Amino acid sequence: MSDAKKPWGGRFEHTPSRFLDEFGASLPVDKRMWAEDITGSIAHARMLARQGVISEADADAIEEGLSEIYREIRDGHFDFDVADEDIHMAIERALTERIGPAGGRLHTARSRNDQVALDTRMYAKRMARELAEALAAVRATLASLAESHADVVMPGYTHLQKAQPVLFAHHMLAYFWMLARDATRVRHAYEAADIMPLGSAALAGTTFPVDRRFVADRLGFAEVTANSLDSVSDRDFLLDLTYACTVTMVHLSRLCEELIMWSSEEFGFVTMDDAYSTGSSIMPQKKNPDFAELTRGKTGRVVGDLVGLLTVLKGLPLAYNKDMQEDKEGAFDAIDTTLDCLTVVEGMLATMRVNAERMLAGAHGGFMAATDLADHLVGAGMPFREAHEVIGKLVLSCEREGRTLQDLSAEEFAAVHPALGPDVTGVVDVRAVVERRVSEGGTGPASVAAQLDGARDELAASSAWLAGLGG
């Protein structure tokens, strides 16, 4: 590697060792931005010709050469040379080998500092779109689960102790809204990336009469950056995208944790499809929810990627510093991991069996109608605190006798308090407890149906945004 001629060779008397060359290289990581690099370079060359900085003939030769390289990389025929430091040098070198001196004109009015900022922004936009699509797919599956299991009642928990019964649909839609906010964060990251930095050159702008807006229009950017120093130093857009990935992973991890618990024998609320389970090499009976566990586990990696990127940027003076080459590996890992996990979770949700009877049985325990009984006493004029006390005592005595609220007879209720009349068995009915939660956003069936409509609207808005991106 150290034998290769450096593009800055003029000023140097000798070159770094092979080890240092490899230490300084980023090609293995940034070569995945090859398409962005080529598309960006073609736009730059066309702009240079239009502005009379290079000839149209040179721009044609550059465009042809780059298009050929594009096809070769796409079809897997391009030979990446380990001697190339990064994707920008690899492509420029291949171009110059093919078209001669015209290739050497491509880098006029440009630095790798604004070039890498451009490529990374284009790549971030492409990935934000893929993330938005994958997030929408999981939301669609959550909404379908809610729709197809509209009547299923399950225990709701606080502190992982049974609290009040809820609809399974309500529980699924809770995750829908988390992922909808993740989609908003991804969209914000897209917009943050959608500003065109080329023309900032190394740090101070360029002496050539560049037309930055032409390049921005051609590459589909909404705007051009306002400050050349900021343009080559800013990686906020990558932080935004990595943060969006991190929160998405935290949400997926929570969902996976519930699926793992729910598929245990103790809960039995869901049964994972065999395709999303693995066995044990020693225990023949085992069926493990590995993929949910891995998603939960990979969340740690993505959190690490975010912290890593924040730490790389912290304390960097303006403008470009080589530290910034360390921005991509973690961000790419966060994006890849999140995309994979969204695919895994979507498939897991779409194929799992929902065990409605087990959920309903679970909703009978835990004295989950206690709040409703207290509310009933309030309806009869008792202050809530006193009602809380009365029902608390009732729960205690049931607990001592090993009975549930649904086991008590009308006479037994009446003996607790006269306001607990014959209609009280209807009060403790689990389904009735759910149906009474009619507040907007509550778990009552009518509220959940309205919520599902809102979810469908949200999904439609999300696809409209994606469709508006074109291409």
Give the separation between CA 57 and CA 42, rounded to whole angstroms.
13
Residue 254 Cβ vs ligand ARG, minimum distance, rounded to whole Å: 34
Of 59, 116, 114, 48, nearest to 85 by C-alpha is: 116
Q: Is 11 in the site for ligand ARG (CB under 6 A)?
A: no
Give the separation between CA 380 and CA 22, rounded to whole angstroms.
79
Residue 7 Cβ vs ligand ARG, minimum distance, rounded to whole Å: 10
Residue 170 Cβ vs ligand ARG, minimum distance, rounded to whole Å: 46
Catalytic residue among 159, 281, 409, 439: 159
User: 39 vs 113, which CB is nearer to ligand ARG?
Assistant: 113
Q: Is 41 in the site for ligand ARG (CB under 6 A)?
A: no
CB atoms within 10 A of CB 421: 14
Return the range that interacts with ligand ARG (CB under 6 A); candidates 112-120, 339-347, 367-375, 458-466. 112-120
User: 86 vs 333, which CB is nearer to ligand ARG?
Assistant: 86
User: 109 vs 408, which CB is nearer to ligand ARG?
Assistant: 109
C-alpha angle 182/187/189, rounded to 5°? Answer: 95
Residue 202 Cβ vs ligand ARG, minimum distance, rounded to whole Å: 7
Q: Is 233 in the site for ligand ARG (CB under 6 A)?
A: no
Q: Is 198 exposed, middle or buried (0-12, 13-18, 19+ CB in 10 A)?
A: buried
Contact pick of 39, 41, 96, 113 for ligand ARG (by CB under 6 A): 113
Q: At 20, is the secondary structure helix, strand, or coil? A: helix
Catalytic residue among 17, 55, 280, 397: 280
Q: Check if 107 is active-site.
A: no
User: 320 vs 332, which CB is nearer to ligand ARG?
Assistant: 320
Residue 84 Cβ vs ligand ARG, minimum distance, rounded to whole Å: 10
Q: Is 225 in the site for ligand ARG (CB under 6 A)?
A: no
User: 327 vs 372, which CB is nearer to ligand ARG?
Assistant: 327
Q: Is 228 in the site for ligand ARG (CB under 6 A)?
A: no
User: 30 vs 234, which CB is nearer to ligand ARG?
Assistant: 30
Return the range that interacts with ligand ARG (CB under 6 A); candidates 111-119, 287-295, 405-413, 439-447. 111-119
User: 26 vs 231, which CB is nearer to ligand ARG?
Assistant: 26
Contact pick of 46, 93, 110, 112 for ligand ARG (by CB under 6 A): 112
- Total residues contacting ligand ARG (rule CB under 6 A)? 10
- Judged by CB under 6 A, the chain residues 116 through 175 that form the site for ligand ARG are 116
Residue 113 Cβ vs ligand ARG, minimum distance, rounded to whole Å: 5
Of 194, 142, 121, 125, nearest to 342 by C-alpha is: 142
Q: Is 325 in the site for ligand ARG (CB under 6 A)?
A: yes
Q: Check if 277 is active-site.
A: no
Q: At 43, is the secondary structure helix, strand, or coil? A: helix
Residue reference for tokens 């074109």: 470
- Judged by CB under 6 A, the chain residues 79 through 108 that form the site for ligand ARG are 86
Return the range that interacts with ligand ARG (CB under 6 A); candidates 42-50, 110-118, 242-250, 452-460. 110-118
User: 179 vs 319, which CB is nearer to ligand ARG?
Assistant: 319
Instruction: Name residue 196's beta-bridge partners.
Output: 224
x/- contact string, 302-321, with ligand ARG (CB under 6 A)? Answer: ------------------x-
Contact pick of 256, 324, 348, 459 for ligand ARG (by CB under 6 A): 324
Residue 322 Cβ vs ligand ARG, minimum distance, rounded to whole Å: 6
Contact set with ligand ARG (CB under 6 A): 26, 30, 86, 112-113, 116, 320, 322, 324-325
Active-site positions read 159, 280
